[in-house]
Structure 1
Amino acid sequence: MSIGNAFSNALSGLNAVSRAADVVSSNVANAMTEGYSRRELELTSQTIGQSGGGVSVTGVTRYTDTVITGERRLADGEVALAETRTDFLNTFSRAIGQADEASSISGLIVSLEESLIEAASRPESETRLQAVLYSAQNLTEKINSAADTLMASRMAADKEIGNSVDFLQTALQQVVDLNVAITQSASSGYDTNSLMDQRQQVVDQISAIIPVKEIARENNSIALYTAGGAILVDSKAASIEFTTVPTITPDMSIESGVLSGLTINGQSVSTDADKGAISGGSLAGLFEVRDELIPEAQVKLDAVARDLIERFQTTDVDPTLAVAAAGLFTDGGAALDVLNEEALSNRLTVNALIDPAQSGDLWKIRDGLGAIAEGDQGDSSILVAMTDALQNSRVAASGDFTSTQRSAVTLSSDFYSLIEGDILDLETGLSFSTARQESLKSIELEAGVDTDFEMQQLILIEQTYAANAQVIQTLDTLLDQLIGML
């Protein structure tokens, strides 16, 4: 081997060592960076004539496990879906209150029952009649507030759907743009790994909203499909459209044409959270909250309101009531219309006839809403009948409750228990999905940057650098000696 060849070998080695150090330092610096994949320098031997000519750097390879990454993205979507469902149910559960809390719907029904019992023991006491009025008003306000929570949650879900769709449209276009940038960079001979890391981060963000499957295309481009088969990215980004509304009332729905559904490339798609075109992520969860969970909760809350009205809207409780007259509780001041139950919980009020603030008379709680003059102050029969009306067991006329007979407080308690049961089921599923997500993330990390291994590589790089540097130093000494001999 000539001195020139030896110099060439050593210099190529130093160049490779320099590049290898850059790669290892990048791996270590980004060991905890989301979306970063481990790099490894690719080398090949080169020849000069018939002799070895050292090594050349052919590129930097980016290592990823597409199968594990794909499974982890599906798990991300499952977690986002479960969290979206659970967040709503927890919000509504707090709105109606835990059954044993004094401020809950159940607790306020108990408070009304107690105030009626106390008033019946001293029907002449204005203070105790006032307590009945306050208890009834507190109860209606609590039910109204729970109904307002449903309306606010539904509008919030609609708004969040709009925000998610806007983000998705931007993110999908970013994937297309990165596909183009990666292809152009590769054709120009530049390193595309950083661009591929950026693209992976964007796809991860998309997957939490709509879980996607990544399909490799030529020139390191990718296509994205939803688990339900909808194309989001191929040669171009899909057009996803959704229209928000400023206000949502309980009667509004997709079926009525008032609320917007979702379209992909102009085609309406199913938003079913479990088997629709966008199933499995937070977006499907938001549609489920808006279009299923909240309307179902509204139906049951309306049924609780109807049950309260019906218990007192009868001459068995108040013989002074006229035909079709409202009892203690009303539908916005009117008697119950069973054909107009939707949003009843929003309209539930206490009869103005017993409220002095609305020109009513407290004594009508004792003497009857239809009484035209104050009667015997010692007569507690109507107050006792009202107490019995709350305590009597009856089958709820609506709300898809079972046919079990319940008192007023038992009905509201069972409603709360149903919600808590749903929350427990969802939290169990969320725990499983989260554990699976964390497990897959751990597997990804194990297949990613191992800092111990990278430190070992640095030692080898140092040794290789020292060896090549020693060769150059030795050759320099030999050249000096040869020149000295001339």
Structure 2
Amino acid sequence: MSLTGSLNSALSGLNAAARAAELISSNVANAMTEGYARRELQTSARVVGQSGQGVKVDGVLRQADLAVIADRRVAQAGSSASSTVVDFMTRLETALGSVGSEGSLVSRVAGFSTSLQEAASRPDADTRLIGVLQSATALTQQISSAATAIQSARADADGQISDQVSLLNITLNQVAQFNGDIGVGLVNGRDVSALMDQRQRAIDSIASIVPLREVPRSYGGVALFTTGGAIILDGKPAEFGFTAAGVVVAGMTQASGVLSGLTLDGRSVATSGDSSLISGGTLAAAFQVRDSLAPAAQANLDALARDLITRFADPATDPSLPLSAPGLFTDTGSGFDPSAEVGLAQRLSVNSSVDPTKGGDLSKLRDGLGAMTPGPVGSAAQFNRFSAALESLRTPASGGFSAASRSFATLATDMTSFAASGRVAAENDATYNAAKLETVKTLELQGGVDTDHEMQTLLLIEKAYTANAKVISVVNDLLQRLLEI
């Protein structure tokens, strides 16, 4: 080999070593960076004619395990969806209050029962009558506020759906743009690893919303499919459609057309069930809260309100009531209407005829709501009938309760237990999904940057750099000697 050929070979070796050292530096610096994939320099022998002429840099290999990344994204979607359900069930439990806690639904029922017993012991005392009115009002307000909290959670879920759909559309367009930029870069022989990292982070940002799979395409492009089978990006990005309601009240449903469903390229798609194309992520979980979990909780509260109204509208509870007249508890002043049960919990109120602030008379609590003339101030009969109505065993006429007969206190406890058990089940599911996600993340990290390996490789590169530098130094000395001759 000529001196010039040796010099060229050594220079190519120096360039390759410098490039490899630069990649190792980048690997070590980004070892904990989300979406970063390890880089490795691809080299081969440079041949001119039939003789070697140093090192040829073929490009940069971005090492990413697509199978592990795909599993991590699915686990990520499941974990995020579970967290969404946990948040709602926790919110519901907080609105109802846990059994035994002050201000809870169960404690309000107990407080009302106690006030009736105290009034029965001193029916002539106005303070005892005021206590009954206040505890009854507190009970209705607790049920109403819990129902309001449920509808607020539905409205929040509706807003979350809108935000997530917007993010999906924006990010899918970004991924499509990355596909184009990467393709152009590969055609022009540029290193596109950084663009691929950015694309991976973009895809990761929507993986929690909709679980997806990534399929490689030509020129470095990718196609995206939901695990349910929908094509959301293959050349051209799909477009999701949704219209936020803004305000959500009891009775508003997707089935009735009042609440928006989800569309994909203008076509309606199922948001729940086996046929759903988006199941498994936060988008489906938000629809579950809005259209399933919250309405079920509302239906149970409405059933609780119905049970309370009908118990105290029974002629056996208050013989003074005219036929079909509302009892102590009403639907905004009226009796219970089976055709208007939806949203009853929010409309639950104490009969104004016993509320002095609304023109009523406290003594009607003692004499009966339909009493035309005052009765004996020492009579506890009506308070005893109220207590008996509260404690009598009845089968709930609606809601998701079992058919067993219950007192009203037991029904309220069942309602609270429904929220608590739902929260516990959701937390267990979230714990499982979080552990699954952590396991897959660990596998992904194991296939990522190993700093020990990188430093060992750097030592070999330094030796190669030193060897090439020595060759250049020797060639330089030889050339100097030739020039001195």
What is the TM-score with the length of structure 1 in the denominator?
0.98
In the alignment, what sits opposite 1:391? 391
Q: Displaced runs of 4+ in structure 1, greater than 6 A?
A: none
Structure 1 position 400, deviation (Å)? 2.6
In the alignment, what sits opposite 1:426? 426
Q: Which amino acid aligns with 1:421?
A: S
Give the SS at the match of 2:280. Answer: coil
Is the contact made by 1:79 and 1:434 (CA closer than 8 Å) also made in structure 2? yes
Is the contact made by 1:77 and 1:207 (CA closer than 8 Å) also made in structure 2? yes
Alignment length (residue pairs): 485
What is the alpha-carbon distance in structure 2 between the residues aligned to residue 273 and residue 468 of structure 1?
65
In the alignment, what sits opposite 1:157? 157
- The reply to whether residue 71 of structure 1 matches residue 106 of structure 2 is no
Q: For the structure 1 residues 175 and 73, does the alpha-carbon distance in structure 2 shift closer, same or farther, using more than 3 Å as the test?
A: same
Deviates more, 1:420-429 or 1:222-231: 420-429
What is the alpha-carbon distance in structure 1 between the residues aligned to residue 398 and residue 449 of structure 2?
59
Structure 1 position 405, deviation (Å)? 1.2
Give 1:261-410 correspondences, 5 Å limit: 261-272=261-272, 275-410=275-410
- The reply to whether residue 197 of structure 1 matches residue 197 of structure 2 is yes
In the alignment, what sits opposite 1:169? 169
What is the alpha-carbon distance in structure 2 between the residues aligned to residue 297 and residue 474 of structure 1?
84
What is the alpha-carbon distance in structure 2 between the residues aligned to residue 107 and residue 397 of structure 1?
23
Give per-residue Cα distances to partners, 1:108-146, cap 9 Å, x unaligned: 000000000000000001001100000001111111101
In the alignment, what sits opposite 1:83? 83
Is the contact made by 1:273 and 1:285 (CA closer than 8 Å) also made in structure 2? no
Q: Which amino acid aligns with 2:170?
A: T
Q: Which amino acid aligns with 1:315?
A: P
Give per-residue Cα distances to partners, 1:380-410, cap 9 Å, x unaligned: 0000111111111211111131111111111
What is the alpha-carbon distance in structure 2 between the residues aligned to residue 122 and residue 416 of structure 1?
32
In the alignment, what sits opposite 1:44? 44
Structure 1 position 478, deviation (Å)? 2.0
Is the contact made by 2:216 and 2:223 (CA closer than 8 Å) also made in structure 1? yes
Deviates more, 1:206-215 or 1:271-280: 271-280
* Alignment root-mean-square deviation, CA: 1.1
Q: Which amino acid aligns with 1:310?
A: T
In the alignment, what sits opposite 1:449? 449
Structure 1 position 273, deviation (Å)? 6.0
What is the alpha-carbon distance in structure 1 between the residues aligned to residue 348 and residue 368 of structure 2?
20
In the alignment, what sits opposite 1:9? 9
What is the alpha-carbon distance in structure 2 between the residues aligned to residue 443 and residue 377 of structure 1?
78
Counting aligned pairs with the same residue, the percent is 44
What is the alpha-carbon distance in structure 1 between the residues aligned to residue 239 and residue 50 of structure 2?
59
In the alignment, what sits opposite 2:224? 224
Is the contact made by 1:273 and 1:280 (CA closer than 8 Å) also made in structure 2? no
Give per-residue Cα distances to partners, 1:260-300, cap 9 Å, x unaligned: 10110111001016651111000000011111111111100
Structure 1 position 218, deviation (Å)? 0.9
Give the SS at the match of 1:57. Answer: strand
Q: Which amino acid aligns with 2:308?
A: L
What is the alpha-carbon distance in structure 2 between the residues aligned to residue 373 and residue 404 of structure 1?
40
Give the SS at the match of 1:283. Answer: helix
What is the alpha-carbon distance in structure 2 between the residues aligned to residue 409 and residue 444 of structure 1?
52
What is the alpha-carbon distance in structure 2 between the residues aligned to residue 100 and residue 156 of structure 1?
29
What is the alpha-carbon distance in structure 2 between the residues aligned to residue 413 and residue 55 of structure 1?
78
Q: Which amino acid aligns with 1:471?
A: V
Give the SS at the match of 1:394. Answer: coil
Is the contact made by 2:98 and 2:420 (CA closer than 8 Å) also made in structure 1? no
Structure 1 position 246, deviation (Å)? 2.3
Give 1:22-171 correspondences, 5 Å limit: 22-171=22-171
Structure 1 position 416, deviation (Å)? 1.4
Is the contact made by 1:210 and 1:280 (CA closer than 8 Å) also made in structure 2? yes
In the alignment, what sits opposite 1:415? 415
Q: Which amino acid aligns with 2:262?
A: L
Q: Which amino acid aligns with 1:345?
A: A
Structure 1 position 373, deviation (Å)? 2.4
Q: Which amino acid aligns with 1:483?
A: L
Structure 1 position 479, deviation (Å)? 2.0
What is the TM-score with the length of structure 2 in the denominator?
0.98
